[in-house]
Amino acid sequence: MEILKGIAVANAINERIGEEMKNRKGTVPHLAIVRVGERGDDLAYERGAVKKMEKVGFTYEVNAFPADISNEDFLKAFDAINEDPAVDGILLFKPLPKHLDEKEVERRICPEKDLDGISPVNMAKVYAGDPAGFAPCTAEAVMEMLDYAGIDLTGKRVTVVGRSTVIGKPVTMLLMKKNATVTVCHTKTKDTEGTCRAAEVVVAAAGSAKMIGAGHISRGAVVIDVGINVDGEGNLCGDVDFDAVAEKCSLITPVPGGVGSVTTSVLAKHLLRAANLRNAQ
């Protein structure tokens, strides 16, 4: 059994970015982070994103707004960031407070600056298999993990647990693009355990602490755990019961230290691609 930690995958991506930057001409890629309020998970991701930008030598700005900002004021401020020629890419933390029109923001964001795939344009491109679209960073991080591990997905039976537009649905499209045979489980699935057990690769992205147990996993399976949860004892854990499942797997990713560690490197990769696209215009 191999435990695939995210740091090795992230370092490989960082190295590719560094090699590309050596011969690159033009301005340094510049990221605009947009945050409303001070949710703990947003702040944690922001710290990771800032640290990554500094590590790869990119510039950034943090645009933090109070949680009670009016919808009109937020849209006006967001438009200014969106239209700023100095900004190559935007990372918007969601969900926004309920009084803000999140769908309108998704419609307004420039697809070429939309690094986390929230624009309807980018979502459509991902679902159509168009490589010009930006997929959500976490979904692409799953693919980076599998690629780094040398997993040939052609014809593989893959079960994705979760159907969110952030991970479940886009990662299903990315897996299918690699010629995997994908089944998606969700809250209405009648036999999630049996469906997972029939798979050679399981991607757990349901957001439910330790819901994937030993009975879900066949011997020799590859398990990618995308979940970030807190268990009953207050400890960070994934959607997979790691201790119960690990001995059955050929490869498994841990939480913390797994897919989440790769997401900010994918963000940096997307930012570089966005900056290159803008330079080419």
- The CA R_g of the chain, rounded to the nearest whole Å, is 19
CA pair distance 235, 244, nearest whole angstrom = 16
Nearest to 89 by CA among 117, 125, 130: 117
Which residue matches tokens 């019961």? 241
Is the Cβ–Cβ distance between 133 and 120 less than 8 Å?
no
**How far is Cα 200 from Cα 224, in angstroms, rounded to an integer?**
11
Beta bridge partners of 31: 60, 89
- CATH 3.40.50.10860 in the chain, residue ranges: 26-111
Of the given ranges (15-29, 48-62, 193-207, 262-276), which has the lowest mean pLDDT? Answer: 15-29
pLDDT of residue 231 exceeding 90: no
Residue 238 has pLDDT above 80, yes or no: yes
Task: Look at residue 162 and tell me whether its pLDDT is greater than 70.
Answer: yes
The whole-number average pLDDT for the span 170-180 is 97
Per the model's pLDDT, the better-predicted residue between 248 and 26 turns out to be: 248
Instruction: Give CATH 3.40.50.720 domain extents, the chain.
Output: 137-260
- For residues 72-93, give the mean pLDDT: 98
Question: In which band, very low, low, confident or very high, does the pLDDT at 23 lie, cut at 50, 70 and 90?
Answer: confident
Topology (CATH) of 137-260: Rossmann fold (3.40.50)
So what's the pLDDT on residue 64? 98
CB 119 within 8 A of CB 105: no
The alpha carbon of 171 is separated from its chain's Cα centroid by a whole number of angstroms, namely 9
Mean pLDDT of 266-280: 93
pLDDT for the residue numbered 281: 64
Average pLDDT of the residues of the chain: 96
CA distance 110 to 219: 45
243: which residues sit within 8 A by CB, 6+ positions away? none
Q: Domain 26-111: which CATH class? A: alpha beta
For the chain, give the percent of residues with pLDDT over 70: 100
Query: What is the mean predicted confidence (pLDDT) over 197-201?
Result: 98
